Amino acid sequence: MAQRTFSIIKPDAVRKGYTGAILAEIDKAGFKIAAIRRQSISNEQAQGFYAVHKERPFFQDLCAFMSSGPLVLMVLEKDNAIADLRKLMGATNPANAEEGTIRKKFAGSIQENAIHGSDAEETAAFEIGYWFAGYELI
């Protein structure tokens, strides 16, 4: 059965006009878009989403960045979606990202790194439920 993961095209990539190009990469890799929404989020909403990182030194900066402009929230579906999206994204720091990955192509820095993807089944379930209601995923 297909697996679901949660992804964000982050504000840096939206600002630079990469939304369409990143969606094309996701499409080409065989993901189905189960839900998608472009919006801005508040600093408080970012803090709730990234609560697991609240003790990290970059937490405040990260939440300010994520609420700095429109982003694109998505639920993506395919077999092995969680691991396959992480692979397609590339390393957190684009300087270490493999050739051909989204972060290699579109990310500017370790913070402004173009895309988010859930890292495990439990985080995917939390993240999908944080941004989308059940009726949006029928």
In the complex, the residues that contact ligand ATP under the rule CB under 6 A are 53, 58, 62, 92, 110-111, 113, 116-117, 119
Least Å distance, CB 28 to ligand ATP, is 20
Q: Is the dihedral of CA 44, 117, 33, 129 positive or negative?
A: negative
Half-sphere exposure of 30 (CA within 13 A, CB side): 10
Structure tokens at 51: 């609560």
Least Å distance, CB 5 to ligand ATP, is 10
Residues 86, 127: Cα–Cα separation, whole Å: 15
Least Å distance, CB 138 to ligand ATP, is 26
Single-letter residue type at 57: P
Per CB under 5 A, the segment of 7-15, 37-45, 62-70, 117-125 that binds Mg ion is 117-125
Give me the residues that bind Mg ion (CB under 5 A), please: 119
Residues recognised as catalytic: 116
